[in-house]
Structure 1
Amino acid sequence: MTNPNLSNGNATFSHKEWWVERWLELLDSYRFKKRLERARIYAREGKILSIEFKKAKVFAKVQGSDINPYQVSLSLVPFTDEDWHYIIESLAEKAIFSAELLAGKMPENIEEVFIKNGLSVFPFTLSDINACCSCPDKANPCKHIGAVYYQLAEYFSEDPFTIFKLRGRTKEQILDALRQLRLQKLNQQKVLKLTKNKNSLTEITETSNHQAEEFKTLDLTKFWQYKGGLDSSLIVIVPPSDDQTVLNILGRITLTYEEARIAQQYLQQVYKNISQYAVMEALNRKI
């Protein structure tokens, strides 16, 4: 598709965006400065009649000294599908990358994503760019190719995704892949949360069922029985607050005085022994 945003002769190519400067640094490294100056003039004067992207390749028509415009083609080595898979995964890890790209900005540290995957979004030298022109000039880049370089800088300034297009992915493809990956991760988080909630519910249900089974097997006739030993440190046994015993509460024994006295003494001794035995039994001690 042909991009109509071509230079109308007023372009200055004085960009502040760091990604555009990175692209122009390649041209500045070219030793034939006069050739580059003519290329810049060609771009400024609107000599580029059209630029068309076909997949990862650029095709341009540049009006030169001949009647018919020269045909220029330019491309970078596109990344493989596997490369882009890892790049998209790395981009999705930080939402700031997607946000800035959508805002028309190239994140300053985005190159780290490509370096992490053993790649470089920008070519290192002009020789990394595959370019050819139908003009008779054997030099590469000629002024027609150079003009296309400068015009692409304008494209990069307007839309950073143009750089990625040269590596094999359009803006729509990258953003769609990012959305799908982020949606996939959100779904995974939802499934994980549902699984966790389901496990918690299952655990609660199993506990409730276990308690219900225990209640069914509970013998209410033995509810108050306790077979375990008591901690003696938790038991405090004190004598009655007065001298009254069960014998005193029961009152006088209906016998003769002497018989009642003898019986009372005997029962008091028995009561004393039983009380002592009860205390020792409570403390789990042998008499």
Structure 2
Amino acid sequence: MNKYGQTWWGAKWMNALSYIDYSNRLPRGRSYANKGAVKDLRISGRKIIAIVAGTRIKPYQVTVRIPAFTPKEKETLTGIILDNPLLLSKLLNRELPESLHSMAEARHIRIFPGRWDDLDMHCSCPD
């Protein structure tokens, strides 16, 4: 079985999603992924698009849009990063420093979703 969320931030995403998953979608998605049913996965900006071979002949298209930070949140996060060069170097190495998350939370900026409404999600699946 595959393990998802292998970095601290990946685990945080999985935990956040499982906490708000009232309709049991994560286990179903995990099952599709483990069976190799995710045929294509693309990330572009704040949008994630997956093509998933489900139970129907035509594959499903799943789209998840992550909300943008407000201009004020962007300004605050930029200031935090500029004041801490180590944060910038980690970000440039495709790492999300846990300290940046803590600093953002201390300023009431959420990096991870807290409820389903935080994400704009669509699926061409029947349910």
Using the size of structure 1 for normalisation, the TM-score is 0.39
Q: Give the match for residue 15 of structure 2.
A: 25
74, 86, 100: which one aligns with 1:96: 86
The partner residue of 1:123 within 90, 113, 120 is 113
Aligned to 2:61, what secondary structure does the other structure show? strand
2:3 to 8, 12, 20: 12
Alpha-carbon deviations, 1:49-88, whole Å to 9, x = none? 1122343222221110111111111112112445323321
Q: What is the CA distance between 1:132 and its match in structure 2?
A: 1.1
The 3 A distance-change label for structure 1 pair 91 and 46 is: same
Q: If each structure's helix is expressed as a fraction of its own residues, which one has the higher value?
A: 1
2:76 counterpart of 1:69: no
The size of the alignment, in residue pairs, is: 126
Paired residue secondary structure (1:73):
strand
Give the deviation of 1:105 after TM superposition.
2.8
| Percent of residue pairs identical | 27
1:109 equivalent in alignment to 2:107: no
CA RMSD of aligned residues (A): 2.3
TM-score, scaled relative to structure 2: 0.81
| Separation (CA, whole Å) in 2 of partners of 1:101 and 1:54 | 17
Q: Aligned AA for 2:37? A: K
Query: Cα deviations across residues 192-215 of structure 1 (Å, max 9, x unaligned)?
Result: xxxxxxxxxxxxxxxxxxxxxxxx
The one-letter amino acid paired with 1:101 is L
Code of the residue aligned with 1:13 in structure 2: it is Y
Q: Which runs of 5+ in 1 are unaligned?
A: 1-9, 138-287
* Higher share of residues assigned strand: 2
Distance in 2, matches of 1:103 and 1:36, equals 29
Cα deviation per residue 1:117-166 (whole Å; 9 max; x = unaligned)?
Answer: 542111112331111111111xxxxxxxxxxxxxxxxxxxxxxxxxxxxx
Preserved CA contact (<8 Å) 1:72 1:133: yes
Matches within 5 A, 1:46-61: 46-61=36-51
